[in-house]
Amino acid sequence: MLIVMTKKATPAEIEAVVATIESKGFMARPIPGGERVAICVLHNEGAVEASFFGGLPGVKEAIPVTRPYKLVSRESQAHDTVIDIGGVLVGNGHFTLIAGPCAVESEHQALTIARLVKKAGAHMLRGGAFKPRTSPYAFQGLGEEGLKILARVREDTGMPVVTEAIDNETFDLVEEYADVIQIGARSMQNFSLLRRAGKSAKPVLLKRGLAATIDEWLMAAEYVMEGGNTRVILCERGVRTFAHHSRNTLDLSAVPVVRQESHLPVLIDPSHAAGRRDQVIPLSRAAAAVGCHGLMVEVHHEPGKALSDGAQSLYPSSSRTCAGR
């Protein structure tokens, strides 16, 4: 943390800031500059809140310097984390393809799609049993019945399944059936859910929130790791911007940044970013090229009849394009 004083800050004001820093158990080191004084905050464990200092008399700005995350940081673990999910590896050196419907609608639907995407090269099946929906009137998923269908499909195809947990009430149930537990974008800062995921023995796929900075996203992963669960997979799925030709704006620069800052694997979900089928294949290619560790795409054998997100679902034949690389 660097506290920048105004040009007119008095010695008394500077001393008061130093005293405030020291009262919190940190060390203060004032640096006289040409026109103004700046004060470094040292020996802090974890992050210092800029807001402590921003309002003190004579303070122009409080600028955070160090990163707030620890366990997810590459500074704490230099080598890449690679996660083994029933023989499917996720992480550096592997390119993992997760495909499937947005929501599980029936055993017939899930099994049809699963067999098709497996044939097309997918390594894992995705499919929602509990769906977070903007409207209370929209289809909310099949619940436990959906999870049972996923289990039967796994038995049939041998593919591990990824499915979302939306609350602590249903977490145990999801944990029982899933191979990977997804935390959705809208739940990225549901801290109770993150803590529960931190106690799970199953790997967690953590999507980036719609307006989350990379720091906030990594801090959400830190919650999971802090609970003891080290198997976290990050997943970028587009952020909300002024642009409206795609549902969200896929932020591919997140991949090199995450790979530099963290040792955790990072996937891309082009389907939710695009929201339109005709952008999914080009964005999938771009995602692979930018250096992510895999894709999660929505596939439906009859998108026109899908109960949710039909417009962004690929036909199974298209997923071959993704897997064929």
Q: Could you say which residues in the range 75-114 bind a second copy, by CB under 8 A?
A: 75
Question: In whole angstroms, how close is the CB of 296 to a second copy at the nearest point?
Answer: 17
Q: Please identify, using beta-carbon distances, which residue of 69 and 95 lies nearer to a second copy.
A: 69
Residues 132-151: x/- map of binding to a second copy (CB under 8 A)?
Answer: xxxxxxx-------------
317 binds a second copy (CB under 8 A): no
22 binds a second copy (CB under 8 A): no
- Of residues 13, 68, 107, 151, which one binds a second copy by CB under 8 A? 68
Cβ contact 218:258 at 8 Å: yes
Q: Could you say which residues in the range 199-258 bind a second copy, by CB under 8 A?
A: 209-211, 213-214, 216, 219, 222-223, 226, 239-246, 249-257
- Give the C-alpha separation, 232 to 294, whole Å: 14
- Of residues 42, 108, 172, 199, which one binds a second copy by CB under 8 A? 42
- Of residues 55, 87, 93, 324, which one binds a second copy by CB under 8 A? 55
- Give the C-alpha separation, 211 to 247, whole Å: 13
Locate 150 and state its tokens: 């996923």
DSSP string, 162-215: EEE--SSTTHHHHHHH-SEEEE-GGGTT-HHHHHHHHT-SS-EEEEPPTT--HH
Question: In whole angstroms, how close is the CB of 158 to a second copy at the nearest point?
Answer: 30
179 binds a second copy (CB under 8 A): no
- Give the C-alpha separation, 146 to 112, whole Å: 15
For 92, which DSSP code?
T
Query: Taking the mean position of all CA atoms in its chain, how far away is CA 178?
Result: 18
- Of residues 96, 182, 187, 200, which one binds a second copy by CB under 8 A? 187
Which residue from 252, 320, 323 is spatially nearest to 292, judged by alpha carbons?
A: 252
50 binds a second copy (CB under 8 A): yes
Question: In whole angstroms, how close is the CB of 159 to a second copy at the nearest point?
Answer: 25
10 binds a second copy (CB under 8 A): no
Question: In whole angstroms, how close is the CB of 299 to a second copy at the nearest point?
Answer: 13
Instruction: Give the side-chain half-sphere CA count within 13 A for 41.
Output: 28
Residues 6+ apart with CB under 8 A from 118: 125, 157, 158, 159
Q: Could you say which residues in the range 295-314 bind a second copy, by CB under 8 A?
A: 303-306, 308-313
